[in-house]
Each structure stands twice: as C-alpha cells, then as structure tokens.
C-alpha cells in the first residue's frame, strides 16, 4: 500500500516540528512528505518536496491525502476548509478556531465533506491523561471537589514580536484571540475538560473570565478563568506568562479521598493519597500517526477530533467577548533582561496562582493586589 501523501502548511516555529515528524514517519515508510506551503522560504527540506507560497497553490498543483496546518490562528478555519474540500484529512494546530461561530462553521465542513479533522492538543493523546480520566470515572479520588490548571511561564519580548498576530485579540478586523489562556497554555484547559468528561460545546455550562496583562499587548498574559461544566464540576484556570521562572504546567484533580497532579508536558502523573505520593511516567501517542491509522481504519478513533474541542472553544469565545485585559499596575511588575530578552515578572503571582488553584477562586475573590487597584480605578 502506498504511504499517505502529507503536506505541511506553516513550516516555521512549531511547524518545523511537524516537518520533522513527517520525515520520521517517511523513514519508516508510513508517510510521504510531498509538499509544504509557507510565504517565507523553507529550509532543510528533502530535494523532492515541492514548495509553495500558499496552501491554495499547493492544493491546485499537488495531490495530497493529509494536510497539517500550523499557521496563524486567524487562518486556521479558511485553510482547514480549503484542505477538506480538496479531499484531504487535516491535523489542525490549536486553538482550532478563534470563535464559537468559526467552530460551528468548521464543524459543518467536517460533516459535509466527511473528512477527518484532528486538533493538535497533544495531551489528549497522553496515556497519563487517559489513565487519570479513567481513575476519576472509577471513583479513585472520591467526590471530585474540582479541577484546576496551573501555568507559571516566562515569555520574553521576542515571543510577542515573532509574528504580527502574537499578543493580539484581533488583526485587520479578524478575531485572533491570542493569549495565555487560549494559546500557549490552552492544553491545560483542554486537558481539564477531558478529565471531567466534558470536552463538547454542550458540556460547558458557564465561563467566567478575569484577564490581565503586564506586557504592552492586547491579549492576556496573567488570568484566571472559572468553568462550570454540565456535570457541576468547577474547573479553575490560573495562568501567567510573567512568572519569575518557567515551570512545568499542571492539571490538578482535587478529590475527597486524594489528589492527582498531571504534568502533561512530560506525561508524568502524581497520585497523592494521605501522606503517600506515587509518580508514574507514561507514554504518549502521536497525533499524526493516530490520524493516519484512522484513515486506514475509521474504527480507530481520533484522540482529539474537532467535536471534542467544543468545550474549549466556549472558553475561547468567553475570552473573545470579554473586556480587554486590564493592565497590571507598574508598581506590581518587575522587569528583567534587555532587548528581546526583556520580560515582566508580576510580583508574587505564583502565590496567587497557587491560592486560586487550591481554593478554585478567581484572582478578585482572593484579593490579588492588581484586582484591588483595578476595582478602585473602575469605581472612581
């Protein structure tokens, strides 16, 4: 059987890792990298790979079976639709869409064309995530008090200068909805919804947002979001890109008889029961391999089909329609580095994130200082 023909749209940044992954599968005879599309010159490609400036040109000139889309957020929907209407299955990077309306539009294209659309939430393919979801369903942790997702990251000036859309809520009148919650730490929210068994759009009952920023950007870089699912579970997201040091993100399950900490970036799972802690390293499946297996046998389920990102997209929508992030007062921000290395540190942000996680509370409910100052300004 001939190996599936794969094309990659967007080969810089994270797109380069997709190119390397296809090359890995090509060496095993499981895929063929036939073309790439990117307006910027591509480097280090095999000699027989065709290079195009755009996906429309690529699809008009080359027959492909799968298209990987790793392009700016605001281009996801038109490019995914273009690929599926050309008869290709799609691996679409997260966030899949910038609004609920776009999600519904793309879902309609999936239904109409019958093509597969896998979304690049890698944590959904981790056996650590899946094992924890099974433990929760089996009552391993007793009654679930809630789920929290914690992200303490450092992002420097170069991160927000890497592309025109970085740090933007809109660009040229089109929704982008970049930000800590919806893009770099989006895996946290998606994993938490999966653990609760609430990945679909109809599984989310309500979303509250509190968005802040220390950087001179449109989008949020320090935020809390509280989700209540149809099951009645509270999911609290507490994240920042302005931490003192870059730490591994965590999704924490708070149960009446135990606690679990999922470190999805490294597929580590910590189980806390009483004074004992067990730590297990799990494996992770590859989303492209899973998509190829699904193509060969539709009975093989996708790890993260578009339909399983509806709940996450409701969070994106809540962030999109929320008031622009409030600026954190300069007195509460310390700056380090120079030039492209320059980055803000929100004073004691780690403490407030930990409290938000433990208490399943928003920053304002805890009295985080930047929310107190903001409240005073709004009332004056």
Per residue in 115-160, pLDDT (tens digit) is 999 999 999 999 999 999 999 999 999 999 999 999 999 999 999 9
pLDDT of residue 1: 65
Give which of 122, 116, 99 is closest to 201, Cα–Cα: 99
Helix axis angle, 186-195 to 310-321, nearest 10°: 130
pTM of the predicted model as reported, rounded to 2 decimal places: 0.95
Are the beta carbons of 64 and 33 closer than 8 angstroms?
A: no
Burial 75-104 (b: 16+ CB within 10 A, else e): bbbebbbbbbebebbbbbbbbbbbbbebbe
Please state, for a pLDDT cut of 70, what percent of the chain lies above it: 98
312 phi/psi in degrees, rounded to 5: -60, -40
Question: Could you tell me the pLDDT band of residue 377, with boundaries at 50, 70 and 90?
Answer: very low
Q: What is the pLDDT of residues 321-344, one digit of tens each?
A: 999 999 999 999 999 999 999 999
Kindly give the residue spans of alpha helices, DSSP state H, lying in the chain. 14-27, 55-61, 76-85, 100-113, 127-137, 157-160, 186-195, 287-296, 310-321, 349-359, 363-366, 369-379
Q: How far apart are CA 360 and CA 206, in angstroms?
A: 15
Question: Could you tell me the pLDDT band of residue 378, with boundaries at 50, 70 and 90?
Answer: very low
Please name the residue that has the structure tokens 């999109």.
320
Are the beta carbons of 137 and 197 closer than 8 angstroms?
A: yes
Are the beta carbons of 32 and 23 closer than 8 angstroms?
A: no
251 phi/psi in degrees, rounded to 5: -115, 125
pLDDT of residue 379: 42
Residue 187 has pLDDT above 50, yes or no: yes
Are the beta carbons of 191 and 149 closer than 8 angstroms?
A: yes
Burial class of 365 by CB neighbour count within 10 A (0 to 12, 13 to 18, 19+):
middle
Please name the residue that has the structure tokens 């929907």.
77
Give which of 376, 150, 319, 315 is closest to 249, Cα–Cα: 150
Going from the C-alpha of 145 to that of each of 152, 163, 195, 306, 334, the distances in angstroms are 23, 40, 13, 28, 35
Q: What is the pLDDT of residues 334-372, one digit of tens each?
A: 999 999 999 999 999 999 999 999 999 999 999 999 998
Q: What is the pLDDT of residues 4-25, one digit of tens each?
A: 999 999 999 999 999 999 999 9
Question: Could you tell me the pLDDT band of residue 63, with boundaries at 50, 70 and 90?
Answer: very high
**Looking at residues 264-283, what average pLDDT do you find?**
95
Residue 72 carries which DSSP code? -
Are the beta carbons of 123 and 129 closer than 8 angstroms?
A: yes
Q: How far apart are CA 294 and CA 184, in angstroms?
A: 27
Please state, for a pLDDT cut of 90, what percent of the chain lies above it: 94
Residue count (the chain):
380
3-state percent breakdown (helix, strand, coil) of the chain, nearest 5: 35, 25, 35
Going from the C-alpha of 113 to that of each of 50, 163, 289, the distances in angstroms are 26, 32, 21
């Amino acid at each position: 059987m001939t190996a599936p023909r794969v094309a990659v749209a967007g080969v810089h940044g994270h797109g380069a890792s997709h190119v390397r992954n296809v090359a890995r599968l090509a060496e095993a005879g499981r895929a063929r990298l036939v073309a790439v599309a990117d307006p910027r010159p591509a480097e280090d490609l095999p000699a027989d790979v065709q290079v195009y400036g755009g996906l429309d040109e690529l699809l008009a000139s080359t027959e492909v079976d799968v298209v990987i889309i790793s392009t700016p957020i605001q281009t996801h929907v038109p490019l995914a639709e273009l690929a599926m209407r050309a008869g290709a299955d799609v691996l679409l990077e997260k966030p899949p869409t910038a609004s609920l309306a776009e999600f519904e539009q793309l879902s309609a294209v999936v239904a109409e064309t019958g093509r597969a659309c896998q979304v690049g939430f890698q944590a959904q393919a981790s056996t650590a995530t899946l094992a924890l979801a099974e433990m929760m369903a089996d009552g391993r942790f007793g009654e679930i008090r809630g789920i929290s997702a914690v992200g303490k990251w450092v992002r420097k000036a170069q991160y927000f200068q890497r592309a025109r859309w970085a740090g933007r809520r809109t660009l040229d009148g089109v929704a982008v909805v970049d930000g800590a919650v919806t893009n770099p730490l989006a895996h946290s929210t998606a994993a938490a919804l999966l653990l609760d068994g609430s990945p679909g759009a109809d599984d989310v009952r309500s979303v509250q947002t509190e968005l802040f920023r220390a950087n001179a950007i449109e989008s949020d870089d320090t935020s809390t979001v509280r989700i209540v699912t149809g099951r009645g579970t509270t999911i609290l997201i507490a994240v920042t890109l302005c931490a003192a040091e870059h730490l591994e993100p965590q999704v924490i399950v708070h149960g009446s008889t135990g606690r679990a900490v999922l470190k999805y970036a490294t597929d580590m799972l910590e189980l806390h029961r009483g004074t004992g802690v067990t730590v297990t390293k799990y494996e992770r499946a590859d989303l492209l391999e899973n998509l190829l297996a699904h193509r060969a046998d539709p009975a093989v389920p996708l790890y993260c089909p578009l339909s399983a990102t509806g709940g996450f997209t409701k969070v994106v929508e809540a962030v999109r329609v929320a008031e622009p992030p409030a600026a954190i007062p300069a007195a509460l921000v310390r700056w380090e580095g120079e030039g492209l290395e320059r980055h803000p540190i929100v004073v004691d942000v780690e403490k407030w994130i930990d409290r938000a996680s433990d208490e399943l509370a928003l920053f304002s409910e805890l009295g985080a200082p930047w929310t107190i100052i903001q409240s005073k300004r709004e009332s004056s």
